[in-house]
Structure 1
Amino acid sequence: MIELLAAAASAEAPPFWLQILPWVGIFAVFWFLLIRPQMRAQKQHREKIASIKKGDKVVTAGGLVAKVVKVDDDYADLELAQGIRVKAVKSTIGDIIPPTGTAAND
C-alpha cells in the first residue's frame, strides 16, 4: 500500500501545454460565443450610424424618435417636433427607422 502511494507521489506532472489546454478551450468558447458576435454587432452599428443622412428618421438610445436635420462627423441635429431641435452625439443614436416604418407617435 505504501509503495502505491509513493509511486503516485513521484508521478510526473503533465506537460505544460496539456495544463493550459482547458484554459485555451474556455477562451475559444468565449471568443466564438460572446466576444466575436459582439464585435460584429458593434461594427454593424458603427456602419449604420456613419450612413445617417439628412431626412432620416432615427431612434436615440433614450427612445426619442426624431428626424435628422443636419449631420457632421460627431453630432447630428435632430428635430423632435416642429421647431424643436436638439443636438445629439451620433454614437447615441440607436437605430434608423426605415422609410416605410411608422413611429408610435405619428
Structure 2
Amino acid sequence: MQKSKKEKKFAEELKKGDKIVTKSGLHGKVFDFSEKNNAVIIETGSGKLTYDKSAISLEMSQKLNQPVVEKK
C-alpha cells in the first residue's frame, strides 16, 4: 500500500523536462500532460508518445536521475 501511495505521489509531482523510464523500459523526457486522459506525453529519440501516468516506473526513474558516482 505504501508503494502505491509513493507511485501516485511521484506521478502527481512530475513536471515538464523530467527524465523518466516507463515500466516497459522506454526512456524519455516529459514533454507535456494530457489531464483529460490522465496521461503523459513523453519525448523520445523517435518522437513523442502518450503513456498513462501509471506506466511510469518510480524506481527506474529515480535510479536514472541519481548522480553518477565515479569509481576510483
Task: Using CA pairs under 8 Å that are at least 6 residues apart, name the structure with larger relative contact order, 1 or 2.
Answer: 2
Identity %: 27
Count of aligned pairs: 62
Structure 1 unaligned segments of length 5 or more: list them. 1-38, 102-106
What is the CA RMSD across the aligned residues, in angstroms?
A: 1.7
- Structure exhibiting the larger radius of gyration computed from Cα positions: 1
Aligned-partner Cα distance in 2 for 1:100–1:42? 25
Name the residue aligned to 1:98: 65
Larger proportion of strand: 2
TM-score (norm 2): 0.75
* 2:25 counterpart (40, 63, 72): 63
Name the residue aligned to 1:50: 12
CA contact (8 A) 1:57 1:66 kept: yes
Instruction: Give the secondary structure class of the aligned counterpart of 1:88.
Output: strand
Amino acid at match of 1:78: I
Larger proportion of helix: 1
CA contact (8 A) 1:69 1:79 kept: yes
Aligned-partner Cα distance in 2 for 1:41–1:71? 23
Structure 2 unaligned segments of length 5 or more: list them. none
TM-score (norm 1): 0.53
